Amino acid sequence: MREILGRRRRLRFWRNKGPAQPAQLDVALTCATEWGWPVLPGVGWKAVGTGAGAGNERGRGCACPDLECVVPGAHPFDPGVLAATADERMLRWWWANRPTAPVVLATGGTAPCAVSLPAVAGARALAELDRLELRLGPVIASPTRWSVLVAPYSLEQLGELLFAKDCVPSSLRFHGGGGYVVLPPSETGAGQVRWERAPLPGSATPWLPRVETVMDVLVEASINAPDGGSRLAY
């Protein structure tokens, strides 16, 4: 059985615990208290540009001080990623102060790891994984990159796996211990983050494939992307 519900319906975290709360907090609490995944708020985005006037368009940039941030709005800032927690009181305090802050999952350890690739390559990879009837867990999609959540792996395991490959395109990124990914329904400088393959509803921790199960397909899809898989785009 493949988890392919993301295209058919939007994931809703029904908690039924008191009054309505921001969607980001609801997701953070589900990840932390039901699945044991440590999360923290992301820095978020801000409008940038030359302001109002004919021909002057305002875009999106990162709310951090780095004017050339390569992951605008899609990374931790204050606190840093090491502060990620599954403590409900801390999460409620963070999102009470910043209710629209992106939800950032700290990867590795007790939480999933992830492999991300450009959006076009990601769509091709998922189509091929479906054709092969390989079971997938949750898949996250942004306008520029898709992230496949996988079971936790160590750096040693990843190193051995990559060493056996003739070519690994630089556009393929690995989010292991000390890394992070942004979870839906967050909004970043690149746009809205959504589930391409949503976790199954309910309190059970989402099932995750092993990284070696999907690696060949992700590498091949990245190599065959329109830009040759060499461009590291966010």
> Does residue 13 lie in a domain region?
no
**Is residue 95 predicted with pLDDT exceeding 60?**
yes
- What is the mean predicted confidence (pLDDT) over 212-227? 88
> Does residue 231 lie in a domain region?
no
- What is the mean predicted confidence (pLDDT) over 148-162? 93
**Is residue 231 predicted with pLDDT exceeding 90?**
no
- Structural domains counted in the chain: 1
> Does residue 202 lie in a domain region?
yes
- Rounded to the nearest angstrom, the gap between the alpha carbon of residue 137 and the centroid of all alpha carbons in its chain is 13
> Does residue 3 lie in a domain region?
no
User: How many CB atoms are closer than 10 A to CB 114?
Assistant: 25
Report CA-CA distances (Å) from 73 to 60, 84, 98, 144, 191: 9, 17, 13, 13, 9
Q: Could you read off the pLDDT of 26-76 as tens digits, one per residue?
A: 999 999 999 999 999 999 999 887 554 444 456 889 999 998 998 999 999
Give the predicted TM-score (pTM) of the model: 0.84
> Does residue 10 lie in a domain region?
no
pLDDT score recorded for residue 203: 65
pLDDT score recorded for residue 54: 43
Pairwise pLDDT comparison (13 vs 122), residue with the higher score: 122
> Does residue 233 lie in a domain region?
no
Report H helices in the chain: 23-29, 88-97, 119-131, 155-163, 211-223
Residue 217 is encoded by which pair of tokens? 């397909």
Q: Which domain holds residue 168?
A: 18-223
> Does residue 12 lie in a domain region?
no
Q: 102 and 186 in contact (C-beta within 8 Å)?
A: yes
> Does residue 7 lie in a domain region?
no
Q: Could you read off the pLDDT of 161-201 as tens digits, one per residue?
A: 999 888 888 889 999 999 999 999 999 999 999 999 999 87
pLDDT score recorded for residue 58: 61
If you average pLDDT over every residue of the chain, what do you get? 86
pLDDT score recorded for residue 233: 46
